[in-house]
Homo-oligomer: A and B are copies of this chain.
Amino acid sequence: MKLTSKGRYAVMALVDLARFNNINPVSLRDISLRQGISLDYLEQIFSKLRKKEIVQSVRGTQGGYVLNKKAKEIKLTNIFDAVDEKVKTVQCKKDSKKGCNGKTTKCVTHNLWDELENHINNFFKEKSLEDLVKDNQERRI
């Protein structure tokens, strides 16, 4: 059970963006250099973040990306959701007639995995980008 790079990078990049998100847009190139993430990969990630309206792009020279909402309103859930980082604990197919389908037949551990999924998602729902930035600034003193 592990977190993929895509999810991790998305959060790292957004924390970076939030920290430098004063007046000017932040270019992916800068984020790439500071966070050590490939520029091409960042572009893929930000394309998704833009579609989900988490960031806005500013084109042209001196362009880059800006947060589209307040850091407080951007939760980890939103970020992971945008880049398709999903928490999957159950494999049971909804339409399977034999075995566990989550309705008529439940495998012995079905409820457990549901609980686990909720447990993890709760964590993601609570944490906002602002929390992360603050946490980071405190540790930098």
Chain A contact residues, CB within 8 Å of chain B = 1-5, 7-8, 11-12, 15-16, 19, 35-36, 85-89, 91, 98-99, 106-109, 111-113, 115-116, 119-120, 123, 127, 132, 135-136, 139
Q: Within the complex, which residue of B12, B106, B115 is in contact with A107, where a contact is CB–CB below 8 Å?
A: B12
Within 8 Å by CB of A112, from B16, B120, B127, lies: B127
Identical copies in the complex = 2
Cross-chain contact B11 with A112 (CB below 8 angstroms):
yes
The residue from B111, B120, B139 contacting A106, defined by CB atoms under 8 A apart: B139
- Selected from B2, B132, B136, the residue in CB contact (under 8 A) with A88 is B2
Residues in chain B near residue A115, CB distance under 8 A: 123
